[in-house]
Amino acid sequence: MKCSVKAPAKINLSLDVLGKRADGYHEVEMIMTTVDLADRIDLTETTDRRITVEVSEGFVPSDHRNLAWQAGDLLQKRYKVNKGAHIYITKRIPVAAGLAGGSSDAAATLRGLNELWGLGLSLDELAKLGGEIGSDVPFCVYGGTAIATGRGEIIRHIDSPPPFWVILAKPPTGVSTADIYRGLKLDAIEHPDTRAMEAAIEEQDFDEICSLLHNVLESVTLGLYPEVDNIKKQMQKFGADGVLMSGSGPTVFGLVAKESRLNRIYNGLRGFCDDVHAVRLIRSSNTCLKPYKDDML
């Protein structure tokens, strides 16, 4: 048996850091939503109990460092599954970009193997497992739009924002999330208004959503990587309605209400970096799962 699962990227409409926890993680409060830029996870059941990973991009690890491998290994060991799986990842989400590509791959693997192996676990159970792999994995199990708290693993679902376009632009820069958090001065943070953002989403107020976009990590990343700051300024110059860095970066996203403005922004940004995408929001859960048999290929 085989199945294919969609693994969408996420963006942060709001990202706040509330303090340092005793376990070494940071206490966060984030509003995240999924966008229609996705990896594809193809899962094939095997009989030898091995978990193997193959990735379309050669620079992405395919061993125990890969979060999809960790998801398969955890699910297999926790539920004593006597079967294995081959995981093929077709990458479309930029790597190390602040878009949760690896976490989404892990979440899709959990959902897909749950179906493939007939485990019958709920999304809540899968999300709890995902929290053992990474802080963004629980959100990615559910998809849609949510407020994430704790270290990111506590999820409260909220309404989806109104429909709009999203431009994603990633400069050819690697950013260390650990370095960005280390550079954050907790006593000097200008905190976003998370409650106001939630209300703006509930009221479907696009202009207010754009005015409330805020990421406390952005000032650290922009200070260390001028090219990220340049992408943000160019996106604003070309006419995006709201612009923000996602996660710890380096991807910058722009919200665009009118499709007529989309091509101008897209083409303008292509002059500054190659990795540019124009996508829509995914306004519902991302549990898109397509099981199929060998004879259907």
Cα–Cα distance, 155 to 45 (Å, whole number): 30
Given the residues 39, 136, 229, 241, select the one marked as catalytic. 136
- Tokens representing residue 18 in the block: 């509330």
Instruction: Please say if 36 is a catalytic residue.
Output: no
Q: Where are the alpha helices (DSSP H) in the chain?
A: 67-78, 101-116, 123-130, 137-142, 177-182, 194-202, 206-212, 218-224, 226-238, 259-269
293 is catalytic: no
Which tokens sit at 265? Answer: 């922004």
If you write DSSP's letter for every residue of 118-172 in order, what string do you get? T----HHHHHHHHTTT-TTHHHHHHBSEEEEETTTTEEEE-PPPPP-EEEEEE-S
Question: Tokens 């799962």 appear where?
Answer: 289
Q: Out of 6, 10, 170, 232, pick the active-site residue.
A: 10
- Three-state secondary structure call for residue 38: strand
Active-site annotation, residues: 10, 136
